[in-house]
Amino acid sequence: MSSTELPYRPPYQWDRVLRFLASRALPNIETVENGVYARTVTIGGARGRIRVENDSARNALRVSATESLSPVLPDVLNRLRLMFDLDNDPD
C-alpha cells in the first residue's frame, strides 16, 4: 500500500464524519472501524482498497491505497478531498 496525507484546517470533526459515514456504509464496500474509514474503489478500470484515518497532530488525513490504484491515485485523492470536505474553512 502506498500512503499520503491530505491536509485540512482545524478544527476537523473526524468523529462526527465517521459516524455519518458509518450510518450510511454500503455492506461489503465500506467499513468504519476503530477510527478508520475503508472502502473498495473502482475508477477508470483500476480497482483497489483505500484506508483513511485522522492524524490530528499533523492536521491531515492519512490515506493508504493499494498499488493497483496508483494510475488513478490523483483522482482518488481529489474525490476524497471532496468527500471529506477538506477545503472547508471552519472559521
Query: pLDDT tens for residues 49-83?
Result: 999 999 999 999 999 999 999 999 999 999 999 99
Domains assigned to the chain: 2-83 (3.30.310.20)
User: Global pTM?
Assistant: 0.94
* Interior/surface letters 73-89, b for 16+ CB within 10 angstroms, e for the rest: beebbeebbeebebeee
Q: CB of 71 within 8 A of CB of 78?
A: no
pLDDT in tens, 22-41: 999 999 999 999 999 999 99
Q: Which amino acid is at 38?
A: A
